[in-house]
Structure 1
């Protein structure tokens, strides 16, 4: 991964990567497993359609997602190595996390139930990731099993910061209705506003 260490001296483009397979897709883009041609390293390439981002008025959200990943240096937050664009798309080059999502892991368990020991382990790591975001004044408004990835070594990383909100001060509250419906907090549903706590 040394090639990513100094982004200013090593500009990456789409031609530097070989697509291997589709990892997932959402409303505004796709995530591909890619190989860096020079190093052979595997990465996840998140590709966002510029037209869809503009039409849905998500430019600010997209820039915030990029900025959150760039400013967080934490083992429980997905690492973004670089970003670039073409005429039609935006590209985020992220760590490839081969274990899949916590959601997929849960679906493969008998009764979709974690042991108490594993629940404590994952909860502790999720808290450490969210704590890093809060330290950076970021409210993560889409915490759900689908956005928690499991590494080869069993640790987790948080991903997908498109719905996050950057606070100007630690006592600011966010009043916008945002998140995935079945995971929205009571504070959001009751329109009480929510902060980083």
Structure 2
């Protein structure tokens, strides 16, 4: 979630109880051990709101301090009324369940979650270094060096490996969702678009698009290519001809659509510059979508832009389906890695056969000592 200030939301929150103690009864669901007090239920009154640090489709994130020791945390506040209106209760529930299960140095801990009659709250680790996109903007030419790119890519890769081993598709990888911790290492955030394949079967119609007029077809299970079996959503093989690409884009952007909020293009959820071709096709997707977004992520770190962005959303989707990635300059292992990740056929994409191991074994990561990344590797920037 991009960390930009939302002053209006803070003022509104003060009126409806988001940023002050509510008179309604708080129902504590659970809490987990961190530096928070163990073996007790937390409520809104245990935390002091400091400021808003992010806002998104699901709610507002505040920097808060635990009363008593002033330890900083991030508190995501979601209005139940808004969740209901946008039919997002399932996304909030998915994010909570995923956060509860995470235990990895580059992923957040769910320290507590509780609710009132009007709001639901998630309390996680706070990262004082901002996000990777802001950090990139501060670099010379707004791009990272190859060594810095390798550092951040390695840590993100380990986080993705952990998620995939637990049957979780992240689906929202981008620099804005990579936070920098106090020690300079990374933490992935924002899991409301994620899917847990191990516990929940999804239809072959992509949840990143919401088309109320079309009933989803049934999913067909397939091995995900890891060391164990998970239900995977099949993506049909398609020829990426100019004609077929135009038909796919026309399906998403019908001429009669205009600017109507009922149109499918306006119900798109996610970051279109990062979306994988199989998601645009709407024919289903699985774990390989994260390897596509990993490729886009790497490209942006070194080229200061995403590879398929068009002047309009329609053009962006067309480029994703039909245009090959351009990698200026002489060949390098990094460019070869990006090219392997940005293969349009998910079954031929790097990472689709052996998962993260296949990506880790690429020449670009040859110098990385994977078992020592967290303890030995020196971050390029320490806040």
Deviations, residues 54-74 of structure 1 (Å, cap 9, x unaligned): 111111111110111110100
**Equivalent residue of 2:77, what SS?**
strand
5 Å-filtered alignment, 1:39-58, equals 39-58=69-88
Q: Please name the residue that 1:125 is paired with.
A: 155
Q: Check conservation: 2:58, 2:88, Cα contact below 8 A.
A: no
Greater fraction of residues in strand: 1
> Where does structure 1 differ by over 6 angstroms across 4 or more consecutive aligned residues?
none
- Between the aligned partners of 2:195 and 2:35, the Cα distance in structure 1 is 31
Partner of 1:3: 36
The Cα of 1:121 is off from its aligned counterpart by: 0.8
Partner of 2:285: 194
Show CA shifts across 1:140-175 (max 9, x none).
111111111011211111000001111145241177
Pairs aligned (count): 193
Unaligned runs of 5+ in 1: none
> Any conservation in 2 of the 1:72–1:136 contact (CA below 8 Å)?
no
Between the aligned partners of 2:151 and 2:283, the Cα distance in structure 1 is: 31
Q: Distance in 1 between matches of 2:64 and 2:88?
A: 25
Shift of 1:194: 2.0
Corresponding position of 1:103: 133
Give the alignment's Cα RMSD to 1 decimal.
Answer: 1.7
Q: Displacement, 1:32?
A: 0.8
Identify which range, 183-192 or 38-47, moves more after superposition: 183-192
Do the aligned partners of residues 3 and 150 (structure 1) sit closer, same or farther apart at CA in structure 2, a change above 3 Å counting?
Answer: closer
Paired residue for 2:296?
none
Structure 1 residue aligned with 2:230: 170
Alignment check: 8 A CA contact 1:170 1:196 kept? no
Q: How far apart, in 2, do the equivalents of 1:11 and 1:44 lie?
A: 17
Partner-residue secondary structure (3-state), 1:3? coil
* Partner in structure 2 of residue 16 of structure 1: 46
Contact 1:3 1:10 in 2 (8 A): no
Q: Does the 8 Å CA contact 1:102/1:146 hold for their aligned counterparts?
A: yes
Query: Are 1:149 and 2:179 an aligned pair?
Result: yes
